Amino acid sequence: MKTNKLSWMIAFVLLALMFAGLYVLEQTLPPTTMLFTILKKSVIYALIAVSMNLLNGFTGLFSLGQAGFMVVGAYTFAILTIPVQHRAMVYQYYDGGIVQFALPAALGILAAGAVAAVFAFLVGLPVLRLKSDYLAIATLGFAEIIRAFIQYEGLGPLTNGSNLLRRFPTFTGIIPPFAIVAFCIFIIVMLIHSTYGRALKAIRDDETAAEAMGINLFFHKQLSFVISSFFAGVAGALLAMYQGSIQAASFKSSMTYEILLIVVIGGMGSISGSILASFLFIASSEWWLRFLDNELFIGTFKVPLLRSGFRVVVFSVIIMAVVLFYRRGIMGDREFNLRFLTRGRSKAKERKNG
C-alpha cells in the first residue's frame, strides 16, 4: 500500500512539474512557436487514444467508431458555444440557425461529452451484441451514418449542413488543454483501477469465463462504450477548439484508423503507452519528418525521392514495421511507473508476500 501511495505522490509531483514547465515555456517562447501547436494537438490526441484504448485495449471491444463520437462532440460544442452575434454570419445560408444562445466554453465541453455519451448509449444497445469484426464494421458504419446526418441539408439550421462551423471559443494558452486532458485521463485511470476496470479486463481476457464469474457482460460493455465515447466527445470539442473551425467531412474513418495506429504503437492496454505514442506520432508526422517533404540539394546533387508526400510514406512504413515486428508496441500492456525508484522496497515486499 505504501509503495502505491508513493507512486501516486510521485505522479502528482511530476504532473505539477510538467505544468510548471509548460508555464515557463509559455512565458519565454513566442506563442506562435511550432512546439505549442504540436503539444496542443498531441495532448488532444492523447485523450482520444486513451479513450479508444479503454475500449480496444482494456475491454477487448474492437470498435472503430471513435471519429463518429468525436464529430458529435465537436459539433455539440460548436453549436452551443458560437457567440450569438456571430451566428448570423456562420449560419449565413440558414438565417442564423435555430440555436440562439451561447454557453460558456467549459459547459460546452461537458455538453459535448454528454451528447456523445447519449449517442453511444443508443448505438451500443444494438451494436454491442455483435462480436469482433462485425462490431468493428458496425461501429465504423455508425460513424459514417452520423457524419451523413450532420451534413444533411434538412438539419442545416442546427448543423450548418456541409458548411464550416467557426467563430466558437478557442484556446487562449497551452495550459487549458493540458489541464482538461490530464483530468480526463486521471478519471479513466481511476476507472481502470476500480472493480469495474477489473471486470472490463476479465471480459477482454475471456468473455465466457467472465460471464461465468457473474460479470454482467452487456452492462460492462455498455459502460465502457459510453465512457469511452464521452471522452471521445470531449476530445472532439478540444480538437474543434484547437482547429478553430470544423467540418464534418474531415472526421473520416481514416481518422479512426490513425488513432487506432497510435494505440497500437503505444501498446494495447497501456495508458502511458497511448499518451507517449500520441506525442511521438503527432511530433514525427507534423514536425520531425517535415524535412522529407522538401527537396534537398547537397551541392549540386539532388537527393532522390524527397518531395511533398514522402513524409507520410516513410511514416506509414515505420508504422507497418512496428505493427509487424514490434507487435506489442512501445509499452506492451505495462504502465510507465517509477517503481525503479522504489524498487528495493517493492521487491522486498514481493518476497515477503511471495
Partner 1 sequence: MEWLERFFPYILAGLSVGGQYALIAIGYTMVYGILRLINFAHGDIFTVAGFIMVYMSATMPLYISIPLTIILTVLLGFTVERVAYKPLREAPRMSIMISAIGMSYLLQNLMWYVTGGLAKQYPVIPFISDSIVVWVTTTKIVTLVTPVLTIVLVILLQQLIHHTKLGMAMRAVSRDFETAKLMGIQINSVISATFIIGSFLAAVGSLLYFSNYPTVTPTVGAMPGLKAFVAAVFGGIGSIPGAVIGALIIGVSENLIKALGYSTFSDAFTFALLIFILLAKPTGLFGEKIIDKV
> Which residues are registered as beta bridge partners of 301?
298
Q: Which stretch binds partner 1 (CB under 8 A): 24-32, 177-185, 251-259, 343-351?
A: 251-259
> What angle do the packed helices 343-353 and 2-28 form, to 10 degrees?
160
Are 247 and 159 in contact, with CB atoms under 8 Å apart?
A: no
How many CB atoms within 10 Å of residue 280?
A: 16
CB of 56 or CB of 272, closer to partner 1: 56
Interaction between residue 317 and partner 1 (CB under 8 A): yes
CB of 328 or CB of 339, closer to partner 1: 328
Provide CB contacts within 8 A for 110, sequence distance 6+: 234
Interaction between residue 13 and partner 1 (CB under 8 A): no
Interaction between residue 319 and partner 1 (CB under 8 A): yes
Interaction between residue 144 and partner 1 (CB under 8 A): yes
CB of 95 or CB of 153, closer to partner 1: 153
CB of 39 or CB of 260, closer to partner 1: 260
Interaction between residue 323 and partner 1 (CB under 8 A): yes
How many CB atoms within 10 Å of residue 103?
A: 17
CB of 30 or CB of 304, closer to partner 1: 304
Are 246 and 240 in contact, with CB atoms under 8 Å apart?
A: yes
* CA–CA dist 335, 328 (Å, integer): 13
Are 61 and 128 in contact, with CB atoms under 8 Å apart?
A: yes
CA–CA distance from 31 to each of 18, 37, 40, 174, 243 (Å)? 18, 9, 12, 9, 15
* CA–CA dist 156, 96 (Å, integer): 10
CB of 241 or CB of 246, closer to partner 1: 246
Q: Which stretch binds partner 1 (CB under 8 A): 45-53, 79-87, 88-96, 322-330?
A: 322-330
Number of residues that bind partner 1 (CB under 8 A): 48
What one-character-per-residue DSSP string does 289-307 give? TGGGGS--EETTEEPTT-S
* CA–CA dist 89, 264 (Å, integer): 42
CB of 204 to partner 1, least distance (A): 11
Interaction between residue 133 and partner 1 (CB under 8 A): yes
CB of 147 or CB of 221, closer to partner 1: 147
* CA–CA dist 78, 81 (Å, integer): 5
Interaction between residue 320 and partner 1 (CB under 8 A): yes
CB of 107 or CB of 317, closer to partner 1: 317
CB of 186 to partner 1, least distance (A): 27
Helix, coil or strand: residue 334: coil
How many CB atoms within 10 Å of residue 340?
A: 8
Interaction between residue 62 and partner 1 (CB under 8 A): yes
CB of 148 or CB of 175, closer to partner 1: 148
CB of 105 to partner 1, least distance (A): 30
- Binding test (CB under 8 A) with partner 1, winner from 4, 170, 172, 254: 254
* CA–CA dist 91, 83 (Å, integer): 12
Q: For residue 116, which of 66, 79, 180, 165 has the smallest C-alpha distance?
A: 66
Interaction between residue 306 and partner 1 (CB under 8 A): no
Q: Which stretch binds partner 1 (CB under 8 A): 83-91, 113-121, 214-222, 249-257?
A: 249-257
How many CB atoms within 10 Å of residue 286?
A: 15
CB of 315 to partner 1, least distance (A): 7
- Binding test (CB under 8 A) with partner 1, winner from 74, 117, 261, 271: 261
Interaction between residue 153 and partner 1 (CB under 8 A): yes
Task: Report the interface residues with partner 1, using CB under 8 A.
Answer: 56, 62, 126-127, 129-134, 136-138, 140-142, 144-145, 147-149, 151-153, 208, 252-254, 257-258, 260-261, 264, 268, 307-310, 312-313, 315-317, 319-320, 323-324, 327
